[in-house]
């Protein structure tokens, strides 16, 4: 096998267009020739799988990593899928309508976006490229405005600095869902990554967009405000070295809000992410600089976007003067309370995911509006919204800091969410309360909901077997609490266990990482009790082989 891997690696070396990746691969080949072929096998024994999140991996050589050859193959597969759908009459005029493309500021995002456009153009498909770097919500928002057949954004979102990725959107402006991911993956497999054709740089099918659609997105932002008469309050903000900073400043200005105080060290895009090892607002320590700024600036609320600005992290001051980072569910509850209180109509719809808190359903019931749970991943929220044309989605959220508070795009948007959260903080001040006070009021009305998560380093295949085992032969008790109900969600590869006292525990293998995730929720229980029950569930997990 080593000889086959070496032969494949040498062919990749001949085709690799980037000198830095060529140098890396040449070093790997030399090591393999000297007998140390472990890393070469990790790079070449297989191929990066295209899923509902598209592609995501470290930027490096080989078919198991993100590089221009892998991106070209993915673009060709997307192009083939579009042309097949056009030929079948399922996506009329797809080639003419084209694909709109945007990118973040991560390593090689510029060449990945350019290669995507040139591959599509070579296949006869119009490719429209957004100028400079743009937040993911701008790409998703512009798809429907341009009437594009699809969209691509080159980003690794909140992944570690070494990574890059590739997300595909449908004509609706929502991310692809099953079975489209599998269909595109089949098309990708039809192409040799070393022999994908590129159009010339002056091909007429390559359309370099100006800032018109970016400006149009900014112009749409003020519509998210529900109490535009409320004057703004001091807000602290970090872009976390991503591409949200300039857009947040424009969005706040357009919405009539004062410019936020920004973490200067993290405001400009920087692919090396020098101040954070893991640029995800959910990660402990990632918002430390923001909290220092919030304390020093007299801010009422602290906001953080992830690097592609489709997620929103929030921290709020406490009565003792400290700051507390909110969970994704707490942010969702605040949005729900505010939106339902400041909108009207029995056609309103709120949507969350299976692993997010069940409190949203209770809040919707009390307000007399429609509510739904859907599968994990924001793409399913967007899909459900397209299936309910007679209902008006006023809030979609998932506990992983994804929020949709505007009519468009049908994807999470950390920009408009930040604007509305800033208004909510201002409205609280105007009403003589605080955001913590709002959360306390929600708890007084509905009970104190507590949520928690754990991740187990177990291969997803083993996790899937565990889910099947629990479904077929559920435990009678967990941590001394009787199991009262078991519900399987096969499409989501998830099982839900209800325990005595209303505690909810869930098990779901990750779709993108070698781990199994456990989710817990309880009402009027202490966090310690919930974490103890999660630990008891974790103790029943099978051991990795």
Q: What is the pLDDT of residue 512?
A: 63
Domain ranges (residues) in the chain: 1-45, 48-210, 218-446, 449-539
Q: Give the list of residues 6+ apart from residue 11 with CB closer than 8 angstroms, or none.
A: 194
CATH top class, domain 449-539 = alpha beta
Judged against a pLDDT cut of 90, whether residue 38 lies above it is answered with no
Q: pTM for the complete prediction? A: 0.96
Predicted confidence (pLDDT) per residue in 139-189, tens digit: 999 999 999 999 999 999 999 999 999 999 999 999 999 899 999 999 999
- Whether 311 and 305 have beta carbons less than 8 Å apart is answered as yes
Query: Is 157 considered catalytic here?
Result: yes
**What are the C-alpha distances in Å from 442 to residues 436, 437, 438, 484?**
10, 9, 6, 27
By C-alpha distance, which of 454, 436, 448, 159 is closest to 325?
Answer: 436
Q: What is the pLDDT of residue 45?
A: 87
Predicted confidence (pLDDT) per residue in 338-393, tens digit: 999 999 999 999 999 999 999 999 999 999 999 999 999 899 999 999 999 999 99
By C-alpha distance, which of 385, 117, 95, 387 is closest to 395?
Answer: 385
Judged against a pLDDT cut of 50, whether residue 260 lies above it is answered with yes
d(CA 88, CA 489): 32
Q: Indicate the CATH number for domain 48-210.
A: 3.40.120.10
- Count other Cβ atoms within 10 Å, centred on residue 382: 27
What confidence tier does 1 reach under pLDDT thresholds 50, 70, 90?
A: very low
Q: What is the pLDDT of residue 535?
A: 97
Helix (H/G/I), strand (E/B), else coil: 168: strand
**Same fold across 218-446 and 449-539:** no
Judge: domain 218-446, CATH 3.40.50.300. Answer: no
- Exactly one of 142, 157, 174, 371 is catalytic; which is it? 157
Predicted confidence (pLDDT) per residue in 207-232, tens digit: 999 999 999 999 999 999 999 999 99
Please give the full DSSP string across 14-32, using - where no structure is assigned.
HH---HHHHHHHHHHHHHH
């Amino acid at each position: 096998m080593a000889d086959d891997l070496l032969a494949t690696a040498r062919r990749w070396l001949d085709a690799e267009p980037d000198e830095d990746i060529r140098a890396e691969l040449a070093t790997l080949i030399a090591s393999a020739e000297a007998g140390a072929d472990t890393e070469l096998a990790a790079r070449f024994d297989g191929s990066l799988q295209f899923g509902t999140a598209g592609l995501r991996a470290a930027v490096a050589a080989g078919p198991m990593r993100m590089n221009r050859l892998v991106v070209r193959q993915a673009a060709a597969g997307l192009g083939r899928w579009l042309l097949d759908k056009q030929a079948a009459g399922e996506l009329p005029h797809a080639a003419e309508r084209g694909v709109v493309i945007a990118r973040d500021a991560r390593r090689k995002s510029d060449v990945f976006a350019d290669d995507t456009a040139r591959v599509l153009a070579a296949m006869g498909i119009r490719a429209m490229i957004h100028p400079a770097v743009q937040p993911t919500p701008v790409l998703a928002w512009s798809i429907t405005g341009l009437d594009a057949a699809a969209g691509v954004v080159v980003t690794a979102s909140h992944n570690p600095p070494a990574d890059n990725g590739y997300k595909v959107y449908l004509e609706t402006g929502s991310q692809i869902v099953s079975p489209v991911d599998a269909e595109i993956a089949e098309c990708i497999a039809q192409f040799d990554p070393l022999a994908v054709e590129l159009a010339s740089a002056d091909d007429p099918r390559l359309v370099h967009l100006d800032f018109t659609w970016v400006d149009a997105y900014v112009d749409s932002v003020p519509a998210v405000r529900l109490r535009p008469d409320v004057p703004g309050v001091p807000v602290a903000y970090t872009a976390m070295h991503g591409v949200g900073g300039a857009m947040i400043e424009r969005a706040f200005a357009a919405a009539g809000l004062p410019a936020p105080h920004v973490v200067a060290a993290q405001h400009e895009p920087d692919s090396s992410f020098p101040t954070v090892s893991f640029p995800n607002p959910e990660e402990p320590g990632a918002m430390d600089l923001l909290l220092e700024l919030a304390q020093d600036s007299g801010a009422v609320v602290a906001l953080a976007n992830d690097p592609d600005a489709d997620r929103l992290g929030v921290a709020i001051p406490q009565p003792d003067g400290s700051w507390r980072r909110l969970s994704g569910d707490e942010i969702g509850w605040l949005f729900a309370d505010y939106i339902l209180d400041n909108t009207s109509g029995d056609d309103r719809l709120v949507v969350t995911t299976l692993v997010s808190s069940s409190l949203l359903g209770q809040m919707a019931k009390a307000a007399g509006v429609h509510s739904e749970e859907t599968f994990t991943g924001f793409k399913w929220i967007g899909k459900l919204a397209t299936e309910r044309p007679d209902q008006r989605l006023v809030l979609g959220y998932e506990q992983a800091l994804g929020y949709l508070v505007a009519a468009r795009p049908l994807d999470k948007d950390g920009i408009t969410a930040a604007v509305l959260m800033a208004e909510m903080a201002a409205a609280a001040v105007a009403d003589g309360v605080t955001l913590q006070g709002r959360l306390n009021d929600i708890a007084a009305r509905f009970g104190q909901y507590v949520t928690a998560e754990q991740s187990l380093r177990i291969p997803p295949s083993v996790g899937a077997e565990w889910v099947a085992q629990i479904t077929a032969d559920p435990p009678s008790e967990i941590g001394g609490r009787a199991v009262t109900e078991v519900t399987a969600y096969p499409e989501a590869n998830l099982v839900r266990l209800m325990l005595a006292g209303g505690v909810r525990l869930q098990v779901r293998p990750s779709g993108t990482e070698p781990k199994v995730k456990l989710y817990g929720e309880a009402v009027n229980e202490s966090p310690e009790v919930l974490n103890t029950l999660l630990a008891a569930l974790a103790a029943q997990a099978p051991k990795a082989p």
